[in-house]
Amino acid sequence: MKQQRYDAVIFDLDGVLTDTAHFHFLAWQQLAQSLGIDFDSAFNEQLKGVDRMGSLSRILDLSDKQFSHDDKLKLAELKNRHYQKLIAHMSPDDLLPGAIECLSSLRLAKIKLGLASVSKNALAVLESLEIRHYFDVVVDAALIKHSKPDPEIFLTAAKQLNVSASMCLGVEDSIAGISSIKSAGMTAIGIGSSSVLREADMTIPDLRTLLHYISLN
């Protein structure tokens, strides 16, 4: 993939800018164990890029018990409380390698920045990481009807940025996220393995190499 100029870069949060994925795992695991459900890191991989209720449904499918809609809402809120306790003490030290350098360089180059995260805690995490000011728009689960791999979240971000999808670069670490970017008509860079993120236009190990593919001139 050659270096190109983009008008906007839209980032996922979990697994791209910071590793809150582990906190989600611990919170889901605590909830699952309280229900007598075995939940391990391998199954957790299936939840990457999936919203809260979608993740809960997949976990509850492992149980023989029946859960009403109200039961599911209460369980989702319980998981969220577990998660919020875990992320309460996050700081800029929890940013992944290259995040600050990447965001700073893109802002200096007058490239618009968006965040597309299915987490309803995205704003709180950005504030804790002290990077909210880098982003022109933040689109989270509260603003969309359809979760990834549907393209809605990335298209919404592009619309709010007033940038055409073809001039946007999306950065994701999940299969669902990459599918969302590609369905939106954007270029997709995956953080992770090319054998897993096969739809991505390019995969990189972390944000330290992202700027190699973006023209800042």
Residue 14 annotated to the active site: yes
State yes or no: 162 annotated in a binding site. no
Q: Of 12, 71, 94, 150, which is the active-site residue?
A: 12
State yes or no: 51 annotated in a binding site. yes
Residue 12 annotated to the active site: yes
State yes or no: 121 annotated in a binding site. yes
State yes or no: 15 annotated in a binding site. no
State yes or no: 13 annotated in a binding site. yes
Q: Of 14, 61, 94, 140, which is the active-site residue?
A: 14
User: Could you tell me if residue 93 is left (phi over 0), alpha (psi between -120 and 50 degrees) or otherwise beta?
Assistant: alpha
**Are 190 and 204 a contacting pair, CB within 8 Å?**
yes
State yes or no: 216 annotated in a binding site. no
User: At residue 174, what are phi and psi to the nearest 5 degrees?
Assistant: -115, 155
State yes or no: 118 annotated in a binding site. yes
CB atoms < 10 A from the CB of 20, how many? 24
Angle of helix 52-60 versus helix 21-34 axis, rounded to 10: 40
Q: Binding site membership for substrate: which residues?
A: 12-14, 28, 47-52, 55, 79, 117-121, 148
Q: Binding site membership for Mg(2+): which residues?
A: 12, 14, 172-173
Question: Active-site positions?
Answer: 12, 14
